Chain A
Amino acid sequence: MDIPYTSQARPDTGLFNAKLGIWLFLASEVMLFGALFSAYILLRVGADPGTWPQGLLNVPIGTFNTAVLITSSVTVVLGWTALKLGDFKTYRKYQAVTILCALGFLFVKCLIEYPEKFTHYEVWKNDGTRMTGHIEGKPYFLTEKKMAVRKMESIKFTPDHRFYFGPVPEHTAGETTAEHPPAVEIKLDEIKRLSAFVPAHGTYFAIYFTLTALHGLHVLAGALVIFFLWGPLAGLWKTDPERYTNRVEVSGLFWHFVDLVWIFLFPVFYLL
């Protein structure tokens, strides 16, 4: 039995099955990301004035990733345009760029941005002092408990030039290019808490990693679907071009949604 309306639009709705399906799925995605955004809003407005971390994320990297996603969005729609015009070769070129953009985005996120956070620390000392900075040797996920287990007596800590909350000093204008203060030696018995910028650090990084990792998974899923259509399923173009084009359109709608989410994530986390 043939399933109706896989290629041709249903007369009453004017839509083929997959298109209605993807829009229903995107509606559920709006609620998923909306719920997490609302969690972010609650945490943000619930934070004590001046205590919400600012300036901890790398804005040039975030801007680069935004440009990468926007570029991938336009190549997706241009690839679909090429298919509509019957130009399969051009479609493949555009989608190859899309896949490269997706890989570039994930590379920057997983291999540059996240590791940068996993080696950036905050230390709470017993005398009440708090500071952020880097530990010599750039260890990952070090805590005061791990220091005790590893029998580390002290760490050599290079503090950042400013602390992450409170008004940004005028001379730095929000940038982190000012010189670092000299490195200091901090003994284990002076440390109350030591944490890298991981989800357990605080509410800011908890919601940051939740939202950006979920978004990253969407990028990965979208890239896999686009790659599958681009490569293994390309033969469908010869047998049923209309259906193939519809599938590309549906995958493109998902990809644009992923771009749309990032358009809001970027200013919320990186700039505010």
Chain B
Amino acid sequence: MSESHSPEAVKRHKKVYLAVFFALLIGTIVTVFLRKIHFPAFWITVAVALFVATIKGTLVACYFMHLISERRAIYSTLAVTIFFFAAMMYLILWSRSQVPRGTEYIPTKYYPYPMAVPAK
């Protein structure tokens, strides 16, 4: 048990937990309203949505999971996890640029609904 988990500290942190709870609810509402905004590019929409989600996730991890005041052994475990997670994501994104010749993406025409799409 870390020192920040002592009964005195826990009592002090109760208000923080409630503040985080309301922040998470507000974050959820913000995320939902973001979809109403038409950003100039889709990647901006993705970036903004993931940014808000990351803030919410950080709040949960730091305060509810007490990562803000944890032991070194846990930080070390998480550091290794983050490294392998990042490596996995990097490999996947890297593989996107390694498409074999002849299998590259060929754009198709967009047919607005309910117009018929010619049968292939």
A74 to B60 Cα, complex, angstroms: 9
Distance A41 CA – B60 CA, assembled complex (angstroms): 24
Task: Report how far A128 CA is from B115 CA in the complex, Å.
Answer: 9
Q: Chain B contacts of A41 at CB under 8 A?
A: 89, 92-93
Number of interface residues of A (CB under 8 A): 66
A249-272: which residues lie under 8 A (CB-CB) from chain B?
Answer: 252-253, 256-257, 259-260, 263-264, 266-268, 271-272
Given the contacts A38-B88, A84-B5, A48 and B17 also touching, CB distance less than 8 Å? no
B residues 1-48 in Cβ contact with A at 8 Å: 1-2, 5, 7, 10-11, 13-14, 17-18, 20-21, 24-25, 28, 31-32, 34-36, 45-46
Our count of residue pairs bridging A and B at CB distance below 8 angstroms stands at: 158
B interface with A by C-beta (< 8 Å): 1-2, 5, 7, 10-11, 13-14, 17-18, 20-21, 24-25, 28, 31-32, 34-36, 45-46, 49-50, 52-53, 56-57, 60-61, 63-65, 71-74, 77-78, 80-81, 84-85, 88-89, 92-93, 96, 105, 107-108, 110-114, 116-119
Binding site for B on A (CB under 8 A): 9, 13-16, 19-20, 23-24, 27, 30-31, 34-35, 38, 41-42, 45-46, 48-51, 59, 63, 66-67, 70-71, 73-74, 76-78, 81, 84-86, 126-131, 159, 162-163, 166, 173-174, 181, 192, 246, 252-253, 256-257, 259-260, 263-264, 266-268, 271-272
